[in-house]
Structure formats: structure tokens, C-alpha cells
Amino acid sequence: MFEDSYPPRVVPVLVPMPAPGPYSYAVPEGMIVMPGSIVRVPLGPRQVAGIVWDGEGGDVNPKKLRPITQVFQCPPVPEEMRRFVDWVAAYTLSRPGMVARMVLRAPEAFEPERAVEGVVRTGLVPEKMTAARKRVLEITENGLSWTRSGLSHASGVSTSVIDGLIAQNVFSRIELQPPPVVAVPDPGYGANALSEDQAAAAETLKAAIDKGGFQSLLIDGVTGSGKTEVYFEAVARALEKGRQVLILLPEIALTQAFLDRFENRFGSRPAEWHSELSPRMRERVWRQVAEGRIRVVAGARSALFLPFEDLGLIIVDEEHDPAYKQEDRVFYNARDMAVVRGHIGRFPVVLASATPSVETRVNAQQGRYQRIELASRFADAALPTLKTIDMRKSPPARGSFLSPALVEAVQDTLARKEQALLFLNRRGYAPLTLCRVCGHRFQCPQCSSWLVEHRFRNQLMCHHCGHHEPSPEACPACGALDHLAPCGPGVERIAEEVVAQFPEARTIILSSDMPGGTKRLRLELDAIAKGEADIVIGTQLVAKGHNFPNMTLVGVVDADLGLANGDPRAAERTFQLLSQVTGRAGRTGKKSVGLLQTYQPEHPVIRSIVSGDRESFYAREIGEREKAMLPPFGRLAGIVVSAETRAEAEGHARQLRRAAPPAPDIAILGPAEAPLAVLAGRHRFRLLVQGEKRSDLQGFIRQLLERAPKERGSLRVHVDIDPQSFL
């Protein structure tokens, strides 16, 4: 008997820390675990949740071996999900435990939800009948069970009436399943009438679902072409087949309108998953997704790591959106990992965008993704007429930033009682402050970029690293008072100009850093949709999928901004942003106009925006990328190592060049160029490492990380996805 338990059974367990692989734990006698089981294990001085992994427990010093404390009573993490974790870890050069940590992000969800106490009729009748008791009995005639409070509410009696009936055995207490977070969606609830284009596209998607197996599809349709309705049909079909569905959205916290549309189509809301969920809700959603009780989740990128019981479709809406990139700890692009997830789970993945990323277009061109085009706007929604305003010929008055032509257009719009949107992708009041006496420029002490003045907060802020300081009264270099000059506009400064020009108009600024946070922004967006504002001044936030039905003028204050900042994706980003923002106009068929203030009206990006010729943009950009060997072409431009100082970056670069041939191409970039990834925290320099094969680069980076353990913390590796090395 004693012998039976020796040697103890040992299993690998993935624990939430950056160890190179799973740790081994002993399984106490009588405990039943299987791969995927979520367990509580001792780890150093604490207890953590981990996932029993596949294979044998590695050989460890038996003295170190400790037993699993407990197996949680929740569904094991499915095989598909475990392969996905392994794949993501290998691809992103992160430790599997850190990826597993993303799966286990709902610590209280591993224990079953507490059952709710309910009551049900026993069949007995009360000795004495009263009016209140009669009402209760009528309502419960059908024999269904009720919660105590629910029943008291429904029958309009106090709970003590029900307690009395329980005491007389007219009702008995039962345990009810905890209530679902959301009702089950009904695929046949509110099917929309589709245009011919839309119907054809929907058929293609449904065929992919019927066929089964992995496939990635791209819905490529101009803004307003009704992509959402199209992929809703795919969602409906997957639901009919009994599969779960994940809809990924960038920044779901702001997309309340999406949830309404879903509800109109399916009769109930999808479950939400994003960082602003309350811990309680997070637990319930996680648990119910694992149990298969939730059929559709609409979530931010982290929803990709929910333990779906039977996922059968992923939609990635606005697939080009940079918000899909996670750039800390585990670096990944949720759009690409969604494709991988679908491949592992053998189901279709649908990407949707009006302005697909160049990578995705290349994938479509090469036949990896099936492209479905929606060329026209839906129903009466007409695309706005777009024009440039040449700022060399029609300059703004001195000290202002809006050209007379744009001011006039705003005036006309107000006169027609319609709304105008002025777009400038720059937060704050002025991007640079300088001293007119000595020429001093305010710079960030941490990362040497310019400090942006924010008048509302009365602060100078670094948009790079978050450093901020109070706005100064005097120049710190020469001490001169009243000679600090703001240079260039931010949205706050445009708002100042607008208020001066149109004092009677109702003006709203929409910028992610306005006080009040997400909640306030949501209210503001609602207010605008209801017509409670005349002029909206906004940063890129306004480009994102909000519907402003009465918006007939979009003015782009600086269409050139972002075209020349050294980022290899600058042209693409600008094209996407300007297409999306001008697409905000004319959603309900009113004649609408987009005006782009520019100093370079002949610039190819500006021209393709104005002419509406998307294809010329993609053709040209794909060609440029190919020439420059940038993503998604040629040599993988995929790995970025950030370091704190240039010397350190050079050290890393030397090491990499010394590493076994073929040595990769390495570029060292300062904060100003900063392409491909946001500089995180204190990291000021980055090496961009290019190589022939992903596996070579992975080798280099591993070596680098191993040889430079002292630099841990000052060294960050970022993987920029190379879509051609997938799968």
C-alpha cells in the first residue's frame, strides 16, 4: 500500500512565470489530473494557479518535488488551447508560462460559481389562501423554478409571503444554476436585408463555415459598405452549427454601438471581454466561456486567450488597427494570432477592414487569404466628395491653423444645421514650446523628445514615456518671463481657434487624454450622435467606427502629419487614418464633403485618398515595401531589440554581428525614428534586426538574451510579425 504511492506520479505544470518550460509536480494519491487541468501548486513561498501540461514531468531533484495542492473544479484547458499557447510562446520568443498566464487571467473563475438558491412548487397547496399567496401560485402555475427575490418581484408580494409558503412545504428550496451573463443569441432573430454585394459576400463566408476546416478570409470593403452585417451572417451560421464565436474589436470599451447592432441582429448582447470589466464579471465570463454557456464573445485582443470549449469562428474587425498589437511582456499581434488559432482549431477566420493592412493585402494577393470585396456603400450612404486645400495657395491667417476655405466650409455646414468634424491627430495644445529670448526648447529629460503643452492640465507632457511637469512661467535656461512660445497646433489649440471663430456653435473636443476617461468619452460620443454638438474636434479616436449621422463635413487640419516620421508604416497609417476619418461623413446619404489641408497635394498618399483610388495606394505601397525589403517582404524585418542607451544598443549589435553567420542586418534607431514598436518605458534605442529566416533571427536573439543576462531589464525584444512565415 505504502509502496503504491512511490515513486509518486509526476506531471508537468505550466506556472505563471518566465521559466523556460513547465515545472514538475507530484500528484498526491487519489488526485485525478489530466493535461489541461487547472491546479493550485506551491511555488516558492506562495500558491499559484497553473495548467497541467502535456508529456512527462521532467526529471527534477526529487527533494525539490512538491505535490499539487488542489485540482480546481473547472473544465480543463482544451488541447487546442494548449497547442496555441505553445505556438504563441515559440513564435513570439516568450516563455510558455507567460502565455499561460494570459489564459489564467481570471483567478477567481476556477472555482465553480456559487449556485443561486431558488424555489419550486411541491404540488401541495397552502392551508390558508390569501390574495398574496394566490398571486404567487398563479405565477408559478407552470412549475418552473424561481429565485426568491425574482418571484417576490414578479408577483408583487414581499419575500416573507414566499418564506411562509416554503415553511408550509408549498415550495421547496432548490439550487439553481448561476444565471448566465448574457442570453443565448438567436441566429434567426433580426436578419437584415442585404444588398446584392453583401449577400454574395455572406454566402462566401457561410460556405467556408459549412465546408469546415481552416481558412482565412478578408472582407475588404469601403467605409460604410456594411461589413458588419455581412459577417453577422457568418456568426449566425456558426451559431446554427452549435459553435462558439469570437469577435475581436480594437478598443471595445468605446464601441457600445457595436453591441447594440449585435443585439438588433441576434436578440441579445454578446458577452464582453476587455480590460475594463469588473473582476466579478471577468470571472463569470471566463467561467461561462469555458463551460460553453456563452456562445459569442466580443472582446479586445486578450479575448483570444479565453478557454473556449468549442470555438468555431473568429472575426477580426478593423484588422489593420494597431491596437491589436500587444507590446509588453508577450509581444503579439492578435490579428495574426487569431489566424493561428483558427489553423490550430481548424475553423475559418474572417478579417474585416475598409483599409486592410498591407500585410493582409499581400496575403490576399498571394492567395493565403481569400479576399471578398465590397465596392460600394450600402443603401443611401454616399461617399463624401474629397478635396485638398493647398496650404501654400490658401494659407491660414497669421497665428491660426485653419485656412479660409475650411473656415468657410464649417460656416456653411453650421448654416445647414449639420455637423462638422475637424481632425488633427495631435493631443494637447502645442507640440513644442520654445523660448523666444534664448531659443531654449522644452525636452523630456528621460527620452529627449519634445514636451507637449497641455493647457487644460496646465502641464508639459512627454507623449513618449509619460513624463510630465507643470507648465513653466519662465524659461529655465535664461529666466526670461513671458517669452515662451507655443509652436504648432494640437487639438486644444484648434478648439481655441474654433471657439473664437464660431462662439455660438457647440464645440466638443474628443481626445483620449481628456479628463473623465472612457465613460466620459462614451457619453460625448452619444451626445454627438444625438446632434448635441455642432463642431467636433478630435484626434484619431474619431476615426474609429463611430456613427455620426448628421456629420457632413470632415476637415483634416494637417493631412501631412505622420507622412514623414521615419516609420516604415507611416504612409500606410496615414492612408488608413485619413480614409477612416473622412469616411465618418455622409453616413445617411446627405451630401457630404471632406477637406484635407496639405502642403503636398501631389503626395501619392494624399492623391489616392482624394481620388478614392485605394488600389493605387496598395499597388504603390506594396511596391515600395518590396523595394525596401520592409514587412511583409523579403527579409524578415521582424525583430526589434530596445536598449536604454546608444552605447548599450551598439554593444548588443556587436554581439549579434559576431554571432554565427549569416549575420543579420542591424540598424540602430533613436527615439525620433522609432519605427515598428512603441518605445516602452526607459528604452530609448532600438536595433532593428533583419535576417533571411525567422529561425535564424530567433537563434540570434536567444543568444543575445543569454549572453547579456546583466542587461535584463534594459533589453527588450520585440517581434514584429512577418505574415509570410506563418504556419
Q: By C-alpha distance, which of 77, 15, 117 is closest to 286?
A: 77
> Least distance (Å) from DNA to the CB of residue 62?
10
Q: Is 487 annotated as a binding residue?
A: no
Give kind and range of the element (H or E) at residue 608: helix 604-611
Grid cell 535584463 in the structure block, residue: 712
In the list 1, 6, 7, 64, the residue contacting DNA (rule: CB under 7 A) is 64
Using CB under 7 A as the binding criterion, the count of chain residues that bind DNA stands at 24
Residue 66 interacts with DNA (CB under 7 A): yes or no = yes
Nearer to DNA, 292 or 681 (CB): 681
Nearer to DNA, 68 or 381 (CB): 68
Nearer to DNA, 331 or 575 (CB): 331
Window 276 to 335, contacts with DNA (CB under 7 A)? 329
Grid cell 445647414 in the structure block, residue: 416
C-alpha cell recorded at residue 190: 433580426
- Measured in degrees and rounded to the nearest 5, phi and psi for residue 72 equal -75, 145
Nearer to DNA, 61 or 73 (CB): 61
Alpha carbon distance, N-terminus to C-terminus of the chain: 49
Residue 680 interacts with DNA (CB under 7 A): yes or no = no
In the list 8, 36, 42, 671, the residue contacting DNA (rule: CB under 7 A) is 42
User: Left, alpha or beta for 212 (phi > 0: left; psi -120 to 50: alpha)?
Assistant: left
> Least distance (Å) from DNA to the CB of residue 429?
33
Q: Which one-letter amino acid corresponds to residue 109?
A: A
Alpha-carbon separation of residue 265 from 108, 242, 247, 338, 676 (angstroms): 33, 17, 14, 24, 38
Nearer to DNA, 27 or 557 (CB): 27
Distance of alpha carbon 350 from alpha carbon 340, whole angstroms: 12
In the list 45, 123, 476, 503, the residue contacting DNA (rule: CB under 7 A) is 45
Alpha-carbon separation of residue 590 from 150, 193, 413, 587 (angstroms): 48, 21, 12, 7
Nearer to DNA, 100 or 406 (CB): 100
Residue 114 interacts with DNA (CB under 7 A): yes or no = no
Count of helices and strands (H, E) across the chain = 19, 32
Q: Is 478 annotated as a binding residue?
A: yes
Region binding DNA by CB under 7 A among candidate stretches 12-20, 212-220, 640-648, 681-689: 12-20
User: Left, alpha or beta for 446 (phi > 0: left; psi -120 to 50: alpha)?
Assistant: alpha
For 8, counting Cβ atoms within 10 Å of its Cβ (0-12 exposed, 13-18 middle, 19+ buried), the class is middle
Region binding DNA by CB under 7 A among candidate stretches 10-18, 192-200, 443-451, 470-478: 10-18
In the list 36, 40, 65, 387, the residue contacting DNA (rule: CB under 7 A) is 65
Residue 58 interacts with DNA (CB under 7 A): yes or no = yes
> Least distance (Å) from DNA to the CB of residue 681?
11
User: How far is residue 47 CA from its own chain's centroid?
Assistant: 31
Distance of alpha carbon 557 from alpha carbon 566, whole angstroms: 21
Alpha-carbon separation of residue 212 from 292, 310, 316, 348, 726 (angstroms): 20, 13, 18, 7, 20
> Least distance (Å) from DNA to the CB of residue 58?
4
Window 324 to 363, contacts with DNA (CB under 7 A)? 329
Residue 98 interacts with DNA (CB under 7 A): yes or no = yes
Distance of alpha carbon 204 from alpha carbon 194, whole angstroms: 14
Distance of alpha carbon 528 from alpha carbon 547, whole angstroms: 9
The answer to whether the CB of 555 falls within 8 A of the CB of 409 is: yes
> Least distance (Å) from DNA to the CB of residue 512?
24
Region binding DNA by CB under 7 A among candidate stretches 36-44, 212-220, 245-253, 593-601: 36-44
Nearer to DNA, 63 or 392 (CB): 63
Looking at the DSSP assignment, which residues form a beta bridge with residue 559? none
Residue 31 interacts with DNA (CB under 7 A): yes or no = no
Distance of alpha carbon 237 from alpha carbon 247, whole angstroms: 14
> Least distance (Å) from DNA to the CB of residue 190?
43
> Least distance (Å) from DNA to the CB of residue 42?
5
Looking at the DSSP assignment, which residues form a beta bridge with residue 481? 474
In the list 31, 40, 60, 522, the residue contacting DNA (rule: CB under 7 A) is 60
Nearer to DNA, 26 or 434 (CB): 26
Residue 387 interacts with DNA (CB under 7 A): yes or no = no
Q: Is 74 annotated as a binding residue?
A: no
Other Cβ atoms closer than 10 A to 230: 28
Q: Locate all alpha helices (DSSP H) within 241-376, ordered by sequence.
A: 256-266, 279-291, 334-345, 358-365
> Least distance (Å) from DNA to the CB of residue 24?
4
Nearer to DNA, 42 or 549 (CB): 42
Distance of alpha carbon 198 from alpha carbon 352, whole angstroms: 13
Distance of alpha carbon 502 from alpha carbon 505, whole angstroms: 6
In the list 16, 76, 250, 545, the residue contacting DNA (rule: CB under 7 A) is 16
CB-side exposure of 230: number of CA atoms within 13 Å? 33
Grid cell 504603390 in the structure block, residue: 620
Nearer to DNA, 104 or 444 (CB): 104
Window 415 to 454, contacts with DNA (CB under 7 A)? none
Residue 24 interacts with DNA (CB under 7 A): yes or no = yes
> Least distance (Å) from DNA to the CB of residue 1?
24
Residue 17 interacts with DNA (CB under 7 A): yes or no = yes
Q: Is 444 annotated as a binding residue?
A: yes
Residue 386 interacts with DNA (CB under 7 A): yes or no = no
> Least distance (Å) from DNA to the CB of residue 460?
24
Region binding DNA by CB under 7 A among candidate stretches 20-28, 271-279, 484-492, 534-542: 20-28
Distance of alpha carbon 117 from alpha carbon 175, whole angstroms: 5
> Least distance (Å) from DNA to the CB of residue 682?
12
> Least distance (Å) from DNA to the CB of residue 348?
33
Give kind and range of the element (H or E) at residue 404: helix 404-415
Looking at the DSSP assignment, which residues form a beta bridge with residue 9? 27
**Could you give the 3-state DSSP secondary structure of residue 645?**
coil
Residue 46 interacts with DNA (CB under 7 A): yes or no = yes
Which residues does the annotation place in the binding site for Zn(2+)? 435, 438, 444, 447, 462, 465, 475, 478
Where does this chain bind DNA (CB under 7 A)?
A: 16-19, 21-26, 41-46, 58, 60, 64-66, 98, 101, 329
Which residues does the annotation place in the binding site? 435, 438, 444, 447, 462, 465, 475, 478
